[in-house]
A and B are shown apart, each in its own frame.
Chain A
Amino acid sequence: MKIRPSQHFTFLLILIASSLHAQEHSDVTLDEATGLAIMQEVYSRHQQFAFIYEEQSMVMTDRNGDRDTRKVRRYSRVEDDGTVKFLLLFDSPDEINGVALLANRDASGKTNKYIYLPAFGEQLIENVSSGRDGNFLGTDFSIESLTGEVLDDYIYIRRPDKKTVEVAYFVIDVYQNEEGLSADTLVADKQANRRHFISKYNLYISKTEYFDKQGRVYKRLSHHDLKPVDGKMWRADMILMEDIKEHHQSLIKISRRVFSRDYVAAEIFTADWLFKNSPFISRPDIDNEEIHSEDEGATEMLNEQNNSSANLELEFTQ
């Protein structure tokens, strides 16, 4: 079907109208909502597609401004029983080609993670690191920051909304759910683990700030290049995690995203598939090839993102 120019305008008007309606709708329904209710709405609206394949560039910048780029494929699949399977497969640099992180999260939220290092041997090594604390595979992201929170594990307290010139946000403080603790019993001076800033416009978590015990922000996660992908469901094409203490950051840029069962076959999430596609490297290392350390496209993206990140920060501080 060919769309005429006049139809473009009509289509745009419809989109704007529907967006305004959506915003108005969310404001109305969630104005008095609790933190948990808002989070539930966020997750229900943006819950994962069952089958997602993504091609990503991961750019890590250290305190000196030096960058490392990795090419990654991400596979995720939700089974009928609610189990979420997740595979992150590294394609480049060459030395880490085939390195994989395989995670399974069952319906109860229990997550098992495995690592495959082709140079180590054909075996999956169970990674028993806590998802909350650890950065994974040298990035500033934790696995949880990429796969999403298990809502039952936390207590969500709504704080006064925040409004910038362009966007209004729900502000939700997140506390670890400990035994005997609830939203009602939470002491006023207890420090939140993190704070979500959720856009009222699309109910997407635009930014998350991580606090230390003194209440100082030590990490910041922000989502950019947000696009609606299916009705009210939005996706970010760029995710930035900044480590404020250590002065480094990691950026994920999604260059291709496909929602298709065909791309994420069940066998992909198995050891055999990994061993077959990235076999054990047994030869002694004698070569000394240079690795392409910089991805030009990703660098440009990062520079742009740094600027937009700065703008975003400005918005929040206004």
Chain B
Amino acid sequence: MIIKMFLVGLNHRAAVTLFLVATTLLAAIGLPKLDVDTGMDSLIPANDPGRLIYQTVIGEFGSDNKTIIYIKDDDLWTPEKLAILERLHGNIEHIENVVSVDSLFNLHTIHGKDGKIESLPVLSEAPATVEEALAAKKRALANPLFIGNYFSDDGDVMAMIVSVMNIEDDRDFNRKIFTELESLISADRDKFESLIQVGPPRINTELENRLFDDFKLLGPLSAFILFISILFFMRSTLSAIIPVVTSALTVIWTFGMLGWVGIPLNILSAMLPSLIIVIGSTEDTHMMAAYFRGLQTTDGGSRDKAIDYMARHIGLPLVLAVLTTALGFSSNMFSSIGLIQQFAFASTFAMLANGIITILVVPLLLSIYGPGKNPNFGDDKGPNRLSDRILKVFRYSQDNYPISVLMFTAVMCLFFIYHASKLYVTNDPLSYIPSDSVLIKDTKRIHDDLAGIKIFFITLDSNKENAFQHPVNIHKLAEIQGFMEKQGVFDRSMSLADHLAFANREFRGEYAELALPETRQLVAQYLMFFHRSDLDSYVSHDYSRANIVVRHNINDSHTLNNYINELQEVIEDIAGPGMKANIVSENLMVNQAADSLMVAQVKALVILLVLIFLIMSAMFTSFRGGAIAMVPAIIPIAMMFGVMGYLDIPLNPGTAMVAVIAIGIAIDGTIHLLARYNELCRHTSDYVGAVHVAVKEEAMPIIVSSIALSFGFGILLFSNFTVVAQFGALAAATMLFSIYANLLITPIIMTRVRLVGLYQIIGMSIDKKVLEDSPLFQNMTNYQRRKAVLISELSECEEGDLLVEQGTIGRDMYLILSGEAEVIRHDGNGESHKLATLLPGSIFGEIGYIRETERTADVKALSKISALRFDYERMQKDLKFFPQIVAKLNFNISYILGERLADMVSQAKGHTGD
């Protein structure tokens, strides 16, 4: 069936072309429906219990979508500059969906001195004189609540904090806010030393822009590099064009499907075109290599025969390779993180679509444009020479130091696994952007002069009205803040306690330090000097819940989560029983998703390895086969994790996918290698030789595809996203590691095993009756008979050929599958006597098989013969690989010999009787 499927493109060109055109057009219609989502929501696990708490908290204490407008100037406090800022403040307030703007123009402060108290705005309107401006500066810097939040210590930097809320869940929300803010800011930018905005709208817009830039750059660059590298290795223009064609169709199908289904593009989608081009090309390369081999092998070298050869020889391995690759991508589909889940869905579809397109398009194009001769094989220049050199080194090691190589590899793996233990996880969106980008520099500047732009909330819920007018509970807030100061990693925290301590200081005047009011009445009475809106972010209306707003600039989830976990324990302890304590924010949920990222990664990896093990075990009808197939998958992955640990590359949504994707790809080479080895083993009992031949034949496609994949993944280094670049670098390295594993380690292990492919068993075309009637296969199931046939060596003889020669010593036993042979004995007088004619199902040579002895007669082919040859030594070797089958065969041989003996005895009796 699979062969037929591969030949559809050859046999039904018009129908296939029509199907491809129609599907591609349908997909293309879906392209305009494509949406882009770079929001933080897709980075948070859908089942995160923190979501609900977060929604409640932002509903009560206000949005954490806050943009900081950073203003720096040495002459900031002048009437002219403040007038510009006042206008800017007013204009920003009128942007749609802006909930509030906080700046010196609406900040209120309290000032106490000599028994007098003053509650006043820092600046109600732009001052008319420099003196007024400086007085406002003095007021601003005197309030400790403002330092770090709104003003730098020296007052040269100030901030406007713009809170926005995406009420209608508009996907373009962030871009709209960013654009409107930018248009207002840019008009006055030249009037200040620095005037910038940083916040979720800018970050999201930046991510979106970078995504589009990646799309424009990476796909075409991948296609170009792929074209050049295949052209170099395969020396065939068509071989280079075909992957580009299949990839282009896959890209349209995939993105069209995403448009139709409504799955948005995200940061990881940026690498999808490159992945399709790079990974998709490997199958094209294997098919082209098989086609060229077909040209060499088949008589006359016709296209159709070569395509037929290609279909027969790599059909099933290729389908299997497509499935394992798709399996690699799909293993992430159950991730709770939307970003990864969406990418897994898109990439799995892409891999499957690419498989279908390749199977249909490659035979179709080859049937029309396929070259009539092999441009590459047999040539000892260029890529062949390169792969030969690599193989020469590998073969020398395999032949002379196999144990040493295995030991060295084991030690190396242990070394990498040790470094892999240092791996840490991060999921911070800002870590997706390179550290030398303007955005990150701006973020750092705000962090240096004010406080980090990242926010989280610590909420205490007493479930009791007015609890946070009670000094005991207010002290709890201060205690938590005190602990955070000891942690020393968060920039700024603000709570109701700060406001009350400040009010207390201003009322008491002589207090040098901030101290909290002692009675509930005094708390309530101080609170009258704050407007409700001043406290909205810090305490619920009924004073049953309090909120500490914390700003920080930690970009590494691992570090942040550790501190948050530590903090969580402490706040629960401080809050005491009866009071719930939560730490929430969107940014925090995103960072905390790093933990589920790690869990999901381990889960996906284990599931994938188990699945591949089972598939390969079934494929090669042996758990050993499954285990061998895992070797080239596991070694590169161990190396990759080791490199990550060694180079301090974190596990993030990009790098987390390398392992599963790389396994899916690396296993392709193994499948092709094992399949070829099995095929060769059918014709030889020299397994080592078969390994060498298989490796030699498969080396070039493996090396070409691995290097092409490395180049392709390497292109992702040009991505605008750190996560994508890290993915690219690691995937490229893993592909190179897979050459080592596939061509050095796998062959060493392969020589020690003998596998039979399930596809060979199923696809075997032997007269069933011959097997059923043969005593050699008696009491065996059809499956066992077929497997037994595949363990043996297939021998083909022409008419007149001698299968067994009298007087020679041989330990082979034969079963005739088709054709006829005669048994002739030569006596000492030079006369020949025909003893018997052997028909299909006949067995001969069984005595030599059991005991090393001279052949007593010739067996000569009367017609073209197809026979199974059972070599004694080979069967002894295979006993350990297929004990049940070989044992049954041995038993049946014993039975046959027993029958012969019985016949001879009865014949002897007959003679005696005569």
A interface vs B, CB < 8 Å?
60, 62-64, 66, 68, 93, 95-96, 99, 115, 117-120, 123, 125-130, 133-138, 140, 212-214, 216, 243, 245-246, 248, 281, 283-285, 287-291, 293
Contacts and interface: CB of A to CB of B under 8 A. Distances in A.
Contacts of B86: 213
A66 B541 contact: yes
Contacts of A285: 470-471, 518-523
Contact of B125 (A128, A213, A246): A213
A211 to B, nearest CB: 11
B116 A133 contact: no
**Max chain A CB contacts within 10 Å: which of B119, B464, B517?**
B119
B233 to A, nearest CB: 67
A96 B465 contact: no
A128 B113 CA distance: 10
Interface stretch (B344-352, B530-538, B555-563, B855-863): B530-538
B82 to A, nearest CB: 12
A140 B531 CA distance: 8
B115 to A, nearest CB: 6
Interface string B98-127: 001000001010001001111111001110
Contact of B121 (A133, A136, A283, A291): A133
B528 A138 contact: yes
B117 A125 contact: yes
Nearest to A137: B528
B507 A120 contact: yes
A119 B93 contact: no
A9 to B, nearest CB: 49
B705 interface: no
**Max chain A CB contacts within 10 Å: which of B90, B100, B106, B521?**
B521
A119 B470 contact: no
A128 B116 contact: yes
A130 B139 CA distance: 15
A89 to B, nearest CB: 13
A283 B524 contact: no
B532 A134 contact: no
Contact of A118 (B60, B466, B525): B525
B522 A291 contact: no
B120 A134 contact: yes
B518 A284 contact: yes
Contacts of B106: 245
A283 B115 CA distance: 23
Contacts of A119: 517, 519, 521-522, 524-525
Contacts of A293: 465, 542
B527 interface: yes
B463 to A, nearest CB: 12
Nearest to B126: A213
Contacts of B533: 62-63, 243, 246, 248
Which secondary structure dominates chain B's binding surface? mixed
Contact of B536 (A63, A134, A212): A63
Contacts of B526: 117
B441 interface: no
B216 interface: no
Given A126-B115, A129-B118, A288-B470, 9 more contacts: A64-B60, A93-B524, A95-B524, A130-B120, A135-B531, A214-B90, A248-B533, A285-B521, A290-B466
A216 B90 contact: yes
Interface in B281-306: none
A62 B115 contact: no
A283 B519 contact: yes
Given A126-B116, A126-B117, A138 B524 contact: no
A246 B60 CA distance: 15
A96 B524 contact: yes
Nearest to A140: B531
Contacts of A213: 86-87, 90, 125-126
Contacts of A130: 120
B536 A62 contact: yes
Nearest to A288: B470
Interface in B456-491: 464-467, 469-471
A127 B87 contact: no
17 contacts: A64-B541, A95-B521, A120-B507, A120-B525, A125-B115, A126-B116, A126-B117, A127-B116, A127-B118, A134-B120, A137-B528, A140-B531, A245-B93, A246-B533, A281-B522, A285-B521, A291-B465
B334 interface: no
Nearest to B471: A285
A138 B518 contact: no
Nearest to A287: B520
Contacts of B521: 95-96, 118-119, 281, 285
A303 B664 CA distance: 66
A123 B115 contact: yes
Contacts of A246: 100, 531, 533
A211 B528 CA distance: 25
B764 to A, nearest CB: 76
**Max chain A CB contacts within 10 Å: which of B467, B527, B541?**
B541
**Max chain B CB contacts within 10 Å: which of A129, A214, A216, A289?**
A129
Contacts of B520: 95, 285, 287-288
B532 A68 contact: yes
Contacts of A125: 112, 115-117, 507
Contacts of A136: 119
B646 interface: no
Sorted nearest first, the 9 A-B pairs with minimum C-beta distance are: A95-B524, A66-B541, A119-B521, A285-B519, A119-B522, A285-B520, A126-B116, A117-B525, A137-B528
B260 interface: no
B529 interface: yes
A125 to B, nearest CB: 5
B120 A133 contact: yes
A18 to B, nearest CB: 44
Contacts of A128: 116-118
**Max chain A CB contacts within 10 Å: which of B125, B507, B524?**
B524
A136 to B, nearest CB: 8
A93 B466 CA distance: 11
